[in-house]
A and B are shown apart, each in its own frame.
Chain A
Amino acid sequence: MDAFLNSLASGLIVGSLYAIMAMGLTILYGVSHVFNFAHGHVAVVAAYLVWFAAVRLGLALPVGVAAALLVMVVLALATYWGAIRGLLRRSEWGFGTLLFTLGLAILAEYALLELFGPRVKSVPAVLPGSVRLWFGRLALNDLFLITASVVLMVLVGAFLKRTLTGQAMRAVAQSLPGAQVVGIDIDRIYGATFIFAFVMTGLSGVLLGTKTYMTPHIGWEWMIKGFVIVAFGGLGSVPGAIVAAFLLGVVEALVTLYLGAIWIWPAWLVTFIVALWLRPQGILGGRST
């Protein structure tokens, strides 16, 4: 029973981090219909930057994180203005953006490989030590992670509901012509959404980096998990992504406990297939696009 609860806790914690990453991905898709295949790699880049700042340069963790997020903003703007914006104007925009983000992912992966080498790294834990609970020990870092995730989710919810930019993003997602008609500058909102998505993803990467070992190649794994979560929860649905992320995080943990780590990927993919078979639009998906 203890092992089960331990596993459940671990699954929920990892799930909450997947949720942060998935939120960025699903909002980006919902607003701009761009599916960012480099999403996992953006997360890894942020994590590596923080590792570099903390471990190599010896800077305090908050400084490293701030610097990494700044890089995320620059990366988002460069990606949107430098490439995506132009690609979206063409008739084959879906294909164009897909290929571009895929290329960006490969670029990021090999850049990290060149700069930092292939050996595993992890971001130093934010809070060292652990606390004893009735079913085992809980790392304080884990407690920090889930608290940070929940706080972030609440902040994102508030941003989307209460700020003008957040409302405009939702408006563009729900009706692009409607957004044009009320005077929203669609170009600026796309840019803002890219920044939002990259920052969210970057944060999730940094947090995940404190819990798992990373190599430059882990971007693909995170991207695929992000994709499964987003599709499972319904493309464009933030609550759906959150629910799906927690669910799949727990599934992953329990599968590891009872079947072994080798079954993680099959479990993800089978859950995905079954869910889409039963409800093609995702758990909380409703609209067609």
Chain B
Amino acid sequence: MLRIRDVTSSYGDIQILRGVSLDVGDGEIVALLGPNGHGKSTLLKAIAGVHPATGGSIELDGEEIRTEPPHRIVERGVAYIPEERFLFPEMTVFENLRLGAYTRRARERFDENLAFVYEIFPRLRERRDQACQSLSGGESRMVAIARGLMSGARLLLVDEPSIGLAPALKKDVYEAIRSINQQAGISVLLVEQEIEYALRLASRAYLLKKGAILFERPVSELDVAHVKEAYF
């Protein structure tokens, strides 16, 4: 589904991605691990079109999307769920979800997608009329993921969904991602600091270090200690 080859990207003069290659297949959950600041978020942003990739190729179902603007990438079925969430603070949960279904394709399937979202995140149905700026950390994370689902995406790019959450909530978020993948067959490229959770969810993992892929392994061949060693 997603085929990335030799992607480069910089922030000003500093090169962050030095030729990254990875794949995400249909219906897979793939983990992207690695130390902070080495380019994991930048890679997701580059795929989403929110930050420019200066070179290389990003192909979605065989079509090149590297230079497409962010709104076109959403139309193609890729939803980026940023770590910062970027919810619309003065709008309610429902209004945020409704805007998640901004594209025409998403609007056509609005009712089904909303029903699915409420099934995965029942708490959001209760909170539907609450303004997002008054939500707790866990709830706003859920709204961010739900809003991405409302676009009818086939591929979610999820950036550290559990960071800063209490353990019980981390578990909820992970269960949600697992359900999304299993029930709807949606692929996920997951950036995570919590190696343990990432390995429990994903089938394959990449390690990104200093802007390049250090290794790729099926999760069955990895354990937390090994991965942590590779960080340093």
Residues of A within 8 A of B (CB): 164, 167-168, 170-171, 174-175, 177-178, 180-186, 287
Minimum CB–CB distance from B145 to chain A (whole Å) comes to 12
Q: Known contacts A181-B48, A181-B50, A181-B82: does B98 contact A175 (CB below 8 Å)?
A: no
Whether B86 pairs with A175 at a CB distance below 8 angstroms is yes
Contacts of B200 in A (CB 8 A): none
Contacts of B147 in A (CB 8 A): 182
Residue contacts A-B, CB under 8 angstroms, 13 given: A170-B88, A171-B88, A177-B50, A177-B82, A178-B85, A178-B88, A180-B71, A181-B74, A182-B147, A183-B71, A183-B74, A183-B106, A185-B71
Interface size of B by CB at 8 A reads 30
Residue of A nearest to B75 (CB): A183
Minimum CB–CB distance from B135 to chain A (whole Å) comes to 14
Stretch at the interface among B35-43, B89-97, B116-124: B89-97
The CA of A118 and the CA of B82, in the complex, are separated in Å by: 56
Whether A167 pairs with B99 at a CB distance below 8 angstroms is yes
Whether A181 pairs with B70 at a CB distance below 8 angstroms is yes
Contacts of B87 in A (CB 8 A): 175, 178
Whether A171 pairs with B99 at a CB distance below 8 angstroms is yes
Contacts of A168 in B (CB 8 A): 99, 102
Q: Known contacts A167-B95, A170-B91: does B86 contact A183 (CB below 8 Å)?
A: no
What are the nearest 10 A-B pairs in CB distance? A183-B74, A178-B86, A174-B88, A177-B86, A180-B70, A185-B71, A183-B71, A175-B86, A183-B102, A182-B102
Minimum CB–CB distance from B52 to chain A (whole Å) comes to 13
The CA of A181 and the CA of B88, in the complex, are separated in Å by: 11
Contacts of A185 in B (CB 8 A): 69, 71
Q: Known contacts A167-B98, A180-B70, A181-B82: does B75 contact A175 (CB below 8 Å)?
A: no
Contacts of B193 in A (CB 8 A): none
Minimum CB–CB distance from B91 to chain A (whole Å) comes to 7
Q: Known contacts A177-B50, A177-B82: does B151 contact A182 (CB below 8 Å)?
A: yes
Whether B84 pairs with A182 at a CB distance below 8 angstroms is no
Contacts of B90 in A (CB 8 A): 170, 174
Whether A174 pairs with B48 at a CB distance below 8 angstroms is no
Minimum CB–CB distance from A228 to chain B (whole Å) comes to 24
The CA of A178 and the CA of B154, in the complex, are separated in Å by: 19
Residues of B within 8 A of A (CB): 48, 50, 69-71, 73-75, 79-82, 84-91, 95, 98-100, 102-103, 106, 147-148, 151
The CA of A183 and the CA of B147, in the complex, are separated in Å by: 11
The CA of A180 and the CA of B103, in the complex, are separated in Å by: 12
The CA of A167 and the CA of B102, in the complex, are separated in Å by: 10
Whether A174 pairs with B91 at a CB distance below 8 angstroms is yes
Contacts of B148 in A (CB 8 A): 181
The CA of A185 and the CA of B88, in the complex, are separated in Å by: 16
Contacts of A178 in B (CB 8 A): 85-88
Contacts of A164 in B (CB 8 A): 102
Contacts of B106 in A (CB 8 A): 183
Whether A181 pairs with B91 at a CB distance below 8 angstroms is no
Residue of A nearest to B95 (CB): A167
Known: A164-B102, A183-B70. 20 other contacts (CB 8 A): A168-B99, A168-B102, A171-B91, A174-B89, A177-B82, A177-B86, A178-B86, A178-B87, A180-B71, A181-B70, A181-B86, A181-B148, A182-B102, A183-B71, A183-B75, A183-B102, A183-B103, A183-B106, A184-B99, A185-B69
Minimum CB–CB distance from B49 to chain A (whole Å) comes to 8
Q: Known contacts A167-B95, A167-B98, A168-B102: does B71 contact A184 (CB below 8 Å)?
A: yes
The CA of A174 and the CA of B100, in the complex, are separated in Å by: 14
Contacts of B103 in A (CB 8 A): 183
- Kindly name the residue among A167, A175, A180, A181 whose own CB sees the greatest number of chain B CB atoms within 10 A: A181
Whether A180 pairs with B99 at a CB distance below 8 angstroms is no
- Kindly name the residue among B70, B87, B91, B98 whose own CB sees the greatest number of chain A CB atoms within 10 A: B70
